[in-house]
Structure 1
Amino acid sequence: MEELQAITEKYDAEYIKNGFSTVDDLNRFALTFYKDVAEIYDCITRIKNTERNPTGYSIDDAPILGLLVRVWKLMKEVIRYYEEDNAEVISVLERPLIEAAVTASFLMGSTPDIVEDYRKCSYKDRLRLLREMEAGSPFFDTKAGKRLLQSVREKLALEGLRPDDFDAQKKNRWKIQGKTFHAIFSEVEHADLYACTYGMMSESVHGSWNESLDWSLTRKDDGTFAPYPFSHPADVRYLSPTLRFTNRPYRLWLQRIDAYDENLQAQLDWVDRVNGALFRKFDTLYDG
């Protein structure tokens, strides 16, 4: 794609050498690189093998494609908040980004029946709405309730599903194949990475005590606490480990749709190499 070439053509030897000179240069280079990676991911989701998919994608492919689109959309938002120097919002956005990337990789290593299971698991609360409607909930007499109910019915009809088609999902407590995300993460990545990435990020969603200590409170000399109303500065170094999770599913997707040619392989290999070089250079230049 010409778009991909336009994104990467500026990365000649001199540009990279200048970008790796000082800490300030490295931070600027890294932010530009991560923005370009998000654009590369965007482009990849628009690449299509017209022989395999002359129009759109099947119900077996579409859930994976949706996750990949979610990844690059979230990555662009994460980068925007790096530019705004707001680390607290980034901590909220990176968790669903990693979850989408890991789940996409998991599904692409699975059989079609597991992809179907993934789709069905998303109906848990929608089926609850149907039960509440049947129980006579007054909410469904309102315009908002009627709109929501119509949306649920349309989605079920789209897949030809009925409320009694979810026995396996109920038995597995609405988890894909009965697996926790920790189990899925451990299969796709490595269990040791869970706690220091996705696990700690869950605090940003659930509002834990340690999350408040990190972002929302300041401790006074007498041991008491006061509100911290300001944004914390963002550190672009944290995006390098995030790319460890994101590059793989885009590579797997291109292989899945039979569009993984030498040029696209080289493009994703280049992302891995530059990201690895950035990680090592950050480690060298930063003290702590």
Structure 2
Amino acid sequence: MDEIRQITEKYDATYVEQIAKSQEDLNWFALAFYKDVAKIYDCLTRIKNVERNPTGFSLDDAPILGLLVRVWKLLKEVIRYYEEDNAEIISILERPLIEASVVASYLMASGPSVVEDYRKCSYKDRLRILHDLENGSAFYDTKAGKRLLKSVREKMDFESLTANDFDVQKRNRWRIQGKSFYEIFSEVEHADLYAATYGMMSESIHGSWNESMDWCLSRNDDGTFSAFPFSHPADIRYVSPTLKFTNRPFRLWLEHIDAYDENLRGVMDWIERVNVTLFKRFDAQYRE
């Protein structure tokens, strides 16, 4: 908590007044706040109830923790590219960030059997590697192939898994409980949010035509296209909607590991309050 306190204590009345000033000051305050939120998330993944977890987290909890670590790492990178004014890279990073946030929330609402299913679903292509080995693929005679095979076997041995332990996952087409990400997203968030947030980043054809038009091409007056070799400017306003997805799983995690005291509840509530205030200020400042 000392790390978190050091982050939040600067937000006194004078500091927060920046929100009400110019658009430039608002952007500066928002960037600083988002950075601090990412740091707080980092701290939260290092908190534990020592009575519940004297050392680390079991296989029932570790997959969730891994997703939360991914969230704050990606959020820090997203913010870094806002500083570099590169919206294209942000669009690439936001997709796995939202995925990790939503799946973490879903797993915590579902229980250990679903967490096990989630773990097993990650072995789809690793089982294919074992299948290719049995069919005599020459790749696994190379040094790179042997290293890859060793990694797969070590992970499966650690979890006491064999190639015969995945019948349920095969029947469900390697989806958690047979559900698409859209279905999971709809349960955790709301179906109406999907298209405008995650959906456009997750088109059925990766590297799609629409992505090329958005980021990599410029349209000429005669209807032809030319290469667009520059970075598109980034708009800091779009971090606020992203935090809508990220705050929930961290709150759920603290509850899940029995570490959600009044101080941490206050921190999570504070993040949500400031984020909502920023969203409203941006809406008032920008006219388009």
**Cα distance change of structure 1 residues 105 and 54 upon mapping to structure 2, 3 Å threshold:** same
Identity within the alignment, %: 72
Residue equivalent to 1:219: 219
The alignment partner of 1:197 has SS state of coil
- Residues 118-157 of structure 1: matches in 2 within 5 Å? 118-157=118-157
- Residues 161-200 of structure 1: matches in 2 within 5 Å? 161-200=161-200
| Letter in structure 2 aligned against 1:176 | I
8 Å Cα contact 1:67/1:100 also seen in 2: yes
Q: What does the per-residue CA deviation read over 1:223-242, in whole Å, with 9 as the maximum and x for residues that have no partner? A: 11101000000000110000
Residue 69 of structure 1: how far off its partner (Å): 0.2
The alignment partner of 2:151 has SS state of helix
The alignment partner of 1:55 has SS state of coil
Residue equivalent to 2:29: 29
* In structure 1, C-alpha distance between the alignment counterparts of 2:207 and 2:142, rounded to whole Å: 32
1:48 paired with 2:71, answer no
1:84 paired with 2:84, answer yes
Residue equivalent to 2:111: 111
Residue equivalent to 1:102: 102
Q: What does the per-residue CA deviation read over 1:207-229, in whole Å, with 9 as the maximum and x for residues that have no partner? A: 11111111111111111110100
Q: What does the per-residue CA deviation read over 1:231-268, in whole Å, with 9 as the maximum and x for residues that have no partner? A: 00000011000000000000000001100000000000
1:68 paired with 2:68, answer yes
Deviates more, 1:205-214 or 1:129-138: 205-214
The alignment partner of 1:157 has SS state of helix
**Cα distance change of structure 1 residues 271 and 204 upon mapping to structure 2, 3 Å threshold:** farther
The alignment partner of 1:206 has SS state of coil
* In structure 2, C-alpha distance between the alignment counterparts of 1:13 and 1:192, rounded to whole Å: 37
Structure 1 stretches of at least 4 aligned residues deviating more than 3 Å after TM superposition: none
* In structure 2, C-alpha distance between the alignment counterparts of 1:121 and 1:20, rounded to whole Å: 48
The alignment partner of 1:230 has SS state of coil
The alignment partner of 2:59 has SS state of coil
8 Å Cα contact 1:81/1:87 also seen in 2: yes
Could you tell me which runs of 5 or more consecutive residues in structure 1 were left unpaired when the two chains were aligned: none
* In structure 2, C-alpha distance between the alignment counterparts of 1:27 and 1:214, rounded to whole Å: 24
Residue equivalent to 1:229: 229
Residue 20 of structure 1: how far off its partner (Å): 2.7
The alignment partner of 1:51 has SS state of coil
Could you tell me which runs of 5 or more consecutive residues in structure 2 were left unpaired when the two chains were aligned: none
Q: What root-mean-square deviation, in Å, do the aligned CA atoms of Structure 1 and Structure 2 show? A: 1.0
Residue equivalent to 2:12: 12
Residue 18 of structure 1: how far off its partner (Å): 2.2
| Letter in structure 2 aligned against 1:138 | A
Residue 143 of structure 1: how far off its partner (Å): 0.4
So what's the TM-score if we normalise by structure 2?
0.99
The alignment partner of 1:207 has SS state of coil
8 Å Cα contact 1:82/1:234 also seen in 2: yes
* In structure 2, C-alpha distance between the alignment counterparts of 1:158 and 1:33, rounded to whole Å: 40
Task: Count how many residue pairs are aligned between Structure 1 and Structure 2.
Answer: 288
- Residues 269-284 of structure 1: matches in 2 within 5 Å? 269-284=269-284
Q: What does the per-residue CA deviation read over 1:154-196, in whole Å, with 9 as the maximum and x for residues that have no partner? A: 0000010000000000000000000000000000000000001
